[in-house]
Every structure is written in structure tokens, then in C-alpha cells.
Structure 1
């Protein structure tokens, strides 16, 4: 027996035929508005996307899309600066209050990083680039040592402790 077809020309159990690849998008309901958007499963360019929240920015226009990119950029930069702040607190000595502060910073940083990760899972190239730029700027401002005085040797000590 050769197998049964599924009505779309794909053989289910036959030999020598392959099934078509899965679609790269799937419909996603937008709530009570009666609209539907496609949830992408591969990277794509475009301002009509969903990031973190229902209908945000959705198809609200370029202004809301740019605002959402700025928000994601800010979140990524905050995550990097929280890491720098955590490093500075941990170098100031080991006390009970420092342990509590470090725990709070870590919890906040992880929450921010998970939000950034969920935003990137929108598969929007603009969101991905905003995330990379935010992490780069946050690292530059908080962790690169660029703003430390190079003549005092602080840069070398800072570089050794961040590796």
C-alpha cells in the first residue's frame, strides 16, 4: 500500500515524497478588534509587529514602532548598567546589606533581560538591532572603563575585575 494522502498532495506514510516546510508565519488574534496579525517565526523587516504587549505597537504607525524600539534600546542599556552597578557594589566589601542590594539588583536585571529576550522573540529585525545597540551603549557607558581616568591606573584594575 502506497499510503494515504491528506488532501493537499502530501503523502502520509508513502515513500519518496516530502512534506512541505512549515509556514514562517501563523495568524494571531488581536483581541476584540477583529483584526489579525501574523506572528513571524523568522526574522522580518516591518513596523507592523507585536512587542511584549497586545496591540503594541501593532499597526499603530511608525511613531509607535520607533517608540517601542527606543524602549527596547533603553531596557538593554539598563541591563548592562545594572551589571556594572552590581560589580561596583560587590567590590565595595562583603556585608549583609551589600548582599541584599546585590540580590535586588540581580532580580531586577534578570527581569529586564527576560523582557528584552521576549521582545527579540518578535523576530523583528528592528527590535533585534535596537537590542544590540542598547547592549553596546550600556556596556560602553557602564562597563567598558572608557570614563575612568586612564592616567591613574584605574582602567587596568577595572579591566582585570570585569574579565
Structure 2
């Protein structure tokens, strides 16, 4: 078979013949759909930022478009962001503690902080502006509180 010449600016259209094994295989394989797949607005995933309480965050039916549950979700991500900042300054190993116990304690706190950070990241991936704003404000508030606490404890140590 001779290769066909194509003009460089023309798109090359390759057609699969009806008797081709590739075509037969694609006709035999149905496209799987999840059992709970629906085409309502709650199951659609946004790919741009949007406002509103109609968001799906972390779990399939939460906050489910209810204003009270949406406010709870905002408070939840705010508290998680503040907690992440507090876990970032967890006290270091005390000098008299066993290195194994101290290391395991620090590793556990670090693991918890990372788990919370990933939950917050997944929440932000809902692309809801309210959630994004509450996460950023939570991180800023947590950072401020941590720095204030450190400065306050340093002031008491010098007195």
C-alpha cells in the first residue's frame, strides 16, 4: 500500500473501516456510568470559581444546597485552616524526652497537619468562592494567633 500525500495545511483524516478490529472492539465495550450519576446541578463539577450555596464539598450530599449546612461547611474549613497553623508550631522535642517518643509525637502531629491540609485543599477544589475566602481568612487568622501567642510567650519569658 502506498502512503498518500497530504497537503501540510490539510487535516489528515484517518477513518477506521467498519470491519476493523478496533471498530468492533469499541462497539462491544459499553461506556460505564456510575450508578448514582444524574444530570442535575448538584452532581456537576465546576471548573471555574462560582458563588452560591449549591456546592458539593468532600462528600456527595454535603452541604446539599442547604444554607445552614453551607454555613457549617464554611465554619468547618475556617477551623481546619486555623488548626493547620496551630499544628505548624507544635513544641519541639523536650530535652529530657526519649528520642523515639519525641520523634513519633512530632511525626504524628505532622501527619495530622498534612491530613488536615489535604482536606482543606480538596475543599478549595470545589471552586466555591465562599469556601476559598474562608480558607484564606482562616489561614491568616491562624497565622496571626500563632504569631501573637509566640510573641506573648516570648515577652513573658523575658520578664
Give the alignment's TM-score, normalised by structure 2. 0.68
Quote the residue 1:119 is aligned against.
123
Pair 1:136 & 2:148 matched? no
Q: Can you give the 5+ residue segments of structure 2 that lack an aligned partner in the other structure?
A: 1-6, 13-33
Quote the residue 1:55 is aligned against.
61
Deviation track 1:46-89 (CA, whole Å, cap 9, x = no partner) reads 11101111111121x2111000000011111111111111xx12
Displacement of 1:97 after TM fit?
0.9
Quote the residue 1:20 is aligned against.
none
Say whether the 8 Å CA contact 1:81–1:143 is kept in structure 2. Answer: no
Say whether the 8 Å CA contact 1:30–1:54 is kept in structure 2. Answer: no
107-116 vs 144-153, which deviates more? 144-153
Distance 1:63 1:71 in 2: 12
Q: Can you give the 5+ residue segments of structure 1 that lack an aligned partner in the other structure?
A: 5-28, 155-163
Alignment of 1:31-110 (within 5 A): 31=36, 35-37=40-42, 38-59=44-65, 61-85=66-90, 88-90=91-93, 92-93=94-95, 95-110=99-114
More strand by share: 1
Aligned length: 127
Say whether the 8 Å CA contact 1:76–1:138 is kept in structure 2. Answer: yes
Displacement of 1:36 after TM fit?
4.0
Displacement of 1:31 after TM fit?
3.3
Distance 2:64 2:35 in 1: 9
- Give the alignment's Cα RMSD to 1 decimal: 2.7
Distance 1:129 1:30, change over 3 A: farther
